[in-house]
Amino acid sequence: MDNAALYLDLLKKSLTDTLVATEPDVDAGRARFAVDFLNHYIRGRAVTMLPRVRLDHLQACIEDVLRRGVPGDLLEAGVWRGGAAILMRAVLKVHGAADRCVWAADSFQGLPEPDAARFPKEAAAYHGPVVRDAYHRLAVGLDAVKANFAAYGLLDGQVRFLPGWFKDTLPHAPIGRLAVLRLDGDYHESTRDCLVHLYDRLSPGGYLIVDDYGEDEWTDCRAAVDGFRAERGIAEPMVQVDRRCWYWRRPG
Ligand SMILES: C[S@@+](CC[C@H](N)C(=O)[O-])C[C@H]1O[C@@H](n2cnc3c(N)ncnc32)[C@H](O)[C@@H]1O
């Protein structure tokens, strides 16, 4: 490994808190995984709840758009403690990409309340004890996220924050082209808001990553994506990263 690869490997271990500990095993069974997830991510020190395979894939997407000269910034919608967006900024830095920035969009006050009439599955989870009491609805404030970027020496002018609900911030955000668009807002409405307001800014050859496409137990994310793709006649096949995360590449 060269120095850049070593740095990014160490960074990913730090962001996932897997330098010593191992990440929760999604194949260990539902109950075991749920307990391990709570302890490792929510109660633990990890700065991202993404498993390593998704961080490796995110890095590969960014390096691919840099190599092929696909124009545009990188955006994550739904950042929690900021870890995946921190990796985005680190990959730009490692490759000397000074002309692109990382957009970090989040309410910075956690998940929105789903419409129970339209999305009963999501609403039941939102009001249930796990998401409400244990996850604190994934609320992490903007100052805490900025402090995490700063802790890694990666809070600078190439990181832009969009605080607020996606439906309010994204339509008017001063974003130009995007080369990598990472959706991690869990819910149907959150995912759809991002697709409606951001997909047209994705450059040909750019990547659209949907973290929760396979998260069918407590979200309707898949339906939001399938509906949008059908409406827009998007025929590029979706490719599976792991059990829950999928992506496609815009042709061009
Ligand atoms: C699963 S977490 C994101 C995990 C993160 N990408 C990581 O690296 O660990 C989901 C995030 O989406 C945010 N979110 C969900 N729906 C949103 C919406 N409609 N507007 C703004 N933020 C939203 C929540 O505040 C939360 O921080």
CA torsion 128→133→137→141, rounded to 10°? 170
Pairing of strands 73-77, 102-106: parallel
In the block, tokens 């989870």 appear at 125
Interatomic CA distance for residues 152 and 93, integer angstroms: 12
Residue 9: CB atoms within 10 Å: 14
pLDDT tens for each residue of 172-201? 999 999 999 999 999 999 999 999 999 999
Protein residue closest via CA to atom 20 of ligand 1: 165
Protein residue closest via CA to atom 7 of ligand 1: 48
Interatomic CA distance for residues 84 and 201, integer angstroms: 21
Per-residue model confidence (pLDDT) at position 64 = 98
8 A C-beta contact, residue 44 and residue 22: no
Check pocket membership of 84 for ligand 1, CB cut-off 6 A. Answer: yes
In the chain the domains, ranked by start, together with CATH numbers, are 50-249 (3.40.50.150)
Interatomic CA distance for residues 25 and 15, integer angstroms: 17
Distance from the alpha carbon of residue 141 to the mean position of ligand 1, in angstroms? 11
Interatomic CA distance for residues 232 and 226, integer angstroms: 10
- For residue 244, which of 206, 216, 207, 220 has the smallest C-alpha distance? 216
Check pocket membership of 37 for ligand 1, CB cut-off 6 A. Answer: no
Residue 160 β-bridge partners? 103
Best mutation site among 42, 111, 130 for ligand 1 pocket (most ligand atoms within 8 Å of CB): 111
Interatomic CA distance for residues 201 and 128, integer angstroms: 36
DSSP 157: T
DSSP 138: G
Protein residue closest via CA to atom 9 of ligand 1: 48
Atom of ligand 1 at shortest range from CA of 49: 9
Check pocket membership of 148 for ligand 1, CB cut-off 6 A. Answer: no
Q: How many residues does the chain have?
A: 252
Distance from the alpha carbon of residue 165 to the mean position of ligand 1, in angstroms? 10
Check pocket membership of 186 for ligand 1, CB cut-off 6 A. Answer: yes
8 A C-beta contact, residue 181 and residue 208: yes
What is the identity of the amino acid at 116?
A
pLDDT tens for each residue of 110-167? 999 999 999 999 999 999 998 898 888 999 999 999 999 999 999 999 999 999 999 9
8 A C-beta contact, residue 224 and residue 188: yes
Distance from the alpha carbon of residue 30 to the mean position of ligand 1, in angstroms? 22
Interatomic CA distance for residues 119 and 192, integer angstroms: 13
Best mutation site among 45, 50, 55, 79 for ligand 1 pocket (most ligand atoms within 8 Å of CB): 79
Per 3-state DSSP, what percentage of the chain is helix, strand, and coil (rounded to 5)? Answer: 45, 15, 40
pLDDT tens for each residue of 26-74? 888 888 998 999 999 999 999 999 999 999 999 999 999 999 999 999 9
Q: Is the pLDDT of residue 252 over 90?
A: no
Task: Report pTM.
Answer: 0.97
DSSP 108: S
Across the range 194-219, mean pLDDT stands at 97
Distance from the alpha carbon of residue 77 to the mean position of ligand 1, in angstroms? 7
Residue 183 β-bridge partners? 77, 210
